[in-house]
């Protein structure tokens, strides 16, 4: 085969020491100034939704999958626009009307009991470790390793230390306040790199021509895995042989996206913090527009990186790949950091490092806060119903540390999974565990007949089926280039997006059958908990919850705690040593007395927080913008189909 040799790309502004790039003064200045400036900035929900999802894992994973397979992976981002509209118009109104703070709390109010809530919390925490924290840490550390030459685990420690201080000192409020600016910096920096990269490759026509010829010099004999896909520039691919079959990309992906955007605590908490219903809808629309952009500033640059550096980004020989990126299954994950290191000038390179660091911190901080909330409110309080606020704050911080350690231990698995493609790894794991949750939330909101027994056993059966597929995936692994595929048909013939549809159907069937065979929940318990009752003004009779009753047992009729648990006894003495005050500050404890509200004040506050009424003007503005967003989205799907 005739090889096309591309001119070696050089960056004249970079300082090279021992074959590794180092930052110049301009780069360091940009990084420092950015993180100083970001401390005092804040704005809107939509940018926060985008920034929570756009971590370094998305940059590394999406660009890597684009380098390996082409533009179809961008469909994962475009699909999100539709689901974000569903979040703002369908799911959030029900959540706000129900007066819930966490997603497991909604299920507890909807179905009663505790076993579904506990299951949801535990599964969410497992998913955070497997698909969020570990992947973000790995991708952020990989970016620093490629850019600066640091050891992967040294990079991990530095990232965790910085993010921990950011999380502990600021909490969710600081996250939302800084996310908007970080989103702007992310988009601007990524677009600058996109234009530089397109200029180097000869714009779109040059990309098409050079990507088709992006073959590494060292290949595996008698194989074709080193060749770029012939359908790399098509969104819709063969439903049987395609790496991302179009039915799976349209329907199976929607199952995963509904879980990620409409039922996941990390994302939904941003919308629940909106000032009003129109504010939440506007945030969803803005987030939907922003999710159109990663195709252009992440996926295409990933493809350009393979076109410019086929020997490194497109390597297929296991020994060669091991030398390049410490992973024998492939090095597509280095596509984006390789582009930054090679193409960005001094100063701008520092900006991109700041962008990726900011994206990592935003994503991790959101997950840390959500994980802490889920564990303390849904698990720890069940074991210790009378735990003080101080105890809950400290336990939450300790739990974050435990999750971080577990996530770091999982990184070696991520490096070798799914042919080294980080994005495919995340989506496949989600396909095995999330569809039963998607089925449950959709049915809980739209069908009053679903009861606790049907919901619980639907989740259990779905979990069992999904775990079997996931375990098989890890046991058999993915064959490397040139190896015979001896996996069972369930693995090699059933794409994970198709499996997500199958698992959704199985879970929904079990939920339906068992719900119809057991007594229904009375209507008085479902007020403002379903789509059909969200505007009801009737008082809701809460389902009996033995744990909640026990937890409230120490409170009198006015809502005050028993004197033995008075908040004043939790206050640190005025003469507390400095080290103790500093430790309390790191755990988010101010030492100020808790403000007590009367019964009337609590009722008024609850009414305000559960109000989903909108002003006609802003309701229409949001509706029109949502229609425009979806029209643009459909056009893009059709244009690149």
Report the relative pairing of strands 15-17 and 20-22 from DSSP bridges.
antiparallel
Q: Are 240 and 415 in contact (CB under 8 A)?
A: no
Residue 150: how many CB atoms within 10 A of its CB? 16
> CA 140 from chain center: how many Å?
14
With a CB cutoff of 8 Å and minimum separation 6, the contacts of 71 are 232, 233, 234, 235, 295, 299, 300, 303, 640
- C-alpha–C-alpha distance, residues 368 and 158, integer Å: 17
Q: Are 230 and 223 in contact (CB under 8 A)?
A: no
The ranges of the chain with pLDDT < 50 are 1-21, 31-44, 171, 551-573, 587-588
Name the DSSP class of 15. Answer: E
Q: Are 431 and 498 in contact (CB under 8 A)?
A: no
Q: Are 82 and 254 in contact (CB under 8 A)?
A: yes
Name the DSSP class of 545. Answer: -
Q: Are 168 and 587 in contact (CB under 8 A)?
A: yes
- C-alpha–C-alpha distance, residues 449 and 438, integer Å: 17
- C-alpha–C-alpha distance, residues 71 and 196, integer Å: 19
pLDDT at 515: 93
First to last CA, the chain: 30
Q: Structure tokens of 342?
A: 């090679």
For the chain, the average pLDDT equals 74
pLDDT at 440: 93
| Locus of tokens 């648990």 | 565
pLDDT at 119: 86
pLDDT at 513: 95
Overall pTM surpassing 0.85 (yes/no): no
Give strand pairing partners of 22: 15
Q: How many residues does the chain have?
A: 641
Q: Are 501 and 432 in contact (CB under 8 A)?
A: no
- C-alpha–C-alpha distance, residues 527 and 205, integer Å: 58
Helices (H), 517-572: 546-551
| Locus of tokens 């991109």 | 352
| Structure confidence by residue, pLDDT tens digits, 457-508 | 999 999 999 999 888 887 777 766 666 767 787 777 788 899 999 999 999 9
Q: Structure tokens of 564?
A: 């033995």
pLDDT at 410: 76
- C-alpha–C-alpha distance, residues 584 and 451, integer Å: 43
Cα–Cα distances in Å, from 55 out to 61, 134, 182? 10, 12, 11
Element (H or E) spanning 635, and its range? helix 616-640
Q: Are 554 and 562 in contact (CB under 8 A)?
A: yes
> CA 310 from chain center: how many Å?
30
| DSSP string across 506-529 | HHHHHHHHHHHTSPPPPGGG-TTT
| DSSP string across 86-135 | HIIIIIHHHHHHHT-SSHHHHHHHHH-SSHHHHHHHHHHHHHIIIIIIHH
pLDDT at 175: 56
- C-alpha–C-alpha distance, residues 106 and 540, integer Å: 14
Burial class (CB in 10 A: 0-12, 13-18, 19+), 250: middle
User: Cα 299–300–303 angle (5° rounding)?
Assistant: 95
With a CB cutoff of 8 Å and minimum separation 6, the contacts of 267 are 49, 52, 53, 87, 260, 261
Which of 364, 373, 464 minimizes the C-alpha distance to 162? 364
User: Cα 106–108–110 angle (5° rounding)?
Assistant: 65
């Amino acid at each position: 085969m005739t090889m096309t040799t591309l001119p070696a790309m050089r960056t004249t502004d970079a300082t090279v020491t021992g074959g590794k790039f180092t930052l110049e003064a301009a780069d360091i200045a940009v990084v420092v100034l950015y993180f100083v400036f970001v401390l005092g900035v804040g704005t809107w929900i939509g940018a926060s939704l985008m920034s929570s999802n756009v971590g370094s894992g998305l940059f590394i994973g999406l660009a890597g999958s684009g380098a390996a397979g082409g533009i179809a992976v961008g469909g994962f981002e475009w699909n999100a626009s539709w689901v974000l509209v569903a979040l703002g118009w369908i799911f959030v109104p029900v959540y706000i009307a129900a007066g819930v703070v966490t997603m497991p709390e909604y299920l507890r109010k909807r179905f009663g009991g505790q076993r579904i809530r506990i299951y949801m919390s535990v599964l969410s925490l497992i998913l955070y470790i497997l698909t969020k924290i570990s992947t973000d840490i790995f991708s952020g550390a990989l970016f620093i390793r490629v850019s600066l030459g640091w050891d992967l685990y040294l990079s991990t420690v530095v990232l965790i230390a910085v993010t921990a201080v950011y999380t502990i000192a600021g909490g969710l409020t600081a996250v939302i306040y800084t996310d908007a600016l970080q989103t702007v910096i992310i988009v601007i920096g990524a677009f600058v790199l996109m234009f530089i990269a397109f200029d180097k490759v000869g714009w779109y026509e040059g990309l098409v021509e050079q990507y088709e010829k992006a073959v590494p010099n060292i290949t595996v004999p008698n194989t074709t895995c080193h060749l770029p896909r012939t359908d790399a520039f098509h969104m819709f691919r063969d439903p049987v042989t395609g790496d991302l079959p179009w039915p799976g990309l349209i329907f199976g992906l929607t199952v995963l996206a509904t879980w990620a955007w409409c039922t996941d605590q990390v994302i939904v908490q941003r919308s629940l913090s909106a000032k009003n219903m129109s504010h939440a809808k506007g945030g969803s629309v803005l987030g939907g527009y922003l999710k159109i952009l990663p195709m252009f500033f992440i996926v295409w640059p990933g493809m350009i990186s393979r076109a410019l550096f086929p020997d490194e980004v497109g390597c297929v020989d296991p020994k060669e790949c091991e030398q390049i990126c410490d992973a024998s299954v492939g090095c597509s994950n280095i596509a984006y950091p390789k582009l930054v290191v090679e193409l960005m000038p001094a100063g701008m390179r520092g900006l991109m490092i700041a962008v990726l660091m900011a994206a990592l911190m935003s994503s991790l901080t959101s997950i840390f806060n959500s994980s802490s909330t889920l564990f303390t409110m849904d698990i720890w309080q069940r074991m210790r119903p009378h735990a003080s606020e101080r105890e809950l704050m400290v336990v939450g911080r300790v739990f974050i540390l435990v999750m971080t350690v577990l996530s770091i231990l999982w990184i070696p698995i991520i490096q070798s999974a799914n042919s080294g493609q980080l994005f495919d790894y995340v989506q496949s794991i989600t396909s095995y565990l999330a569809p039963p949750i998607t089925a449950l939330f959709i049915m809980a909101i739209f069908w009053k007949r679903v009861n606790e027994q049907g919901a619980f056993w639907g989740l259990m059966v779905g979990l069992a089926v999904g775990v079997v597929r996931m375990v098989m995936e890890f046991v058999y692994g993915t064959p490397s280039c040139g190896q015979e595929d001896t996996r069972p048909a369930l693995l090699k013939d059933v794409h994970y997006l198709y499996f997500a549809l199958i698992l959704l159907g199985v879970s929904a069937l079990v939920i339906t059958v068992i719900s119809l065979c057991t007594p229904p929940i009375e209507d008085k318990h479902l007020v403002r908990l379903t789509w059909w009752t969200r505007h009801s003004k009737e008082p809701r009779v809460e389902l009996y919850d033995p744990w909640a009753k026990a937890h409230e047992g120490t409170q009198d009729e006015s809502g005050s705690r028993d004197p033995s648990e008075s908040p004043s006894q939790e206050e640190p003495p005025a003469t507390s040593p400095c080290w103790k005050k500093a430790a309390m500050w790191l755990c988010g404890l101010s030492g100020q007395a808790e403000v007590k509200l009367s019964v009337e004040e609590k009722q008024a506050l609850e009414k305000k927080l559960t109000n989903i009424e909108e002003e006609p003007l802003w309701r229409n503005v949001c509706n029109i913008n949502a229609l425009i967003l979806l029209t643009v989205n459909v056009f893009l799907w059709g244009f690149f189909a």
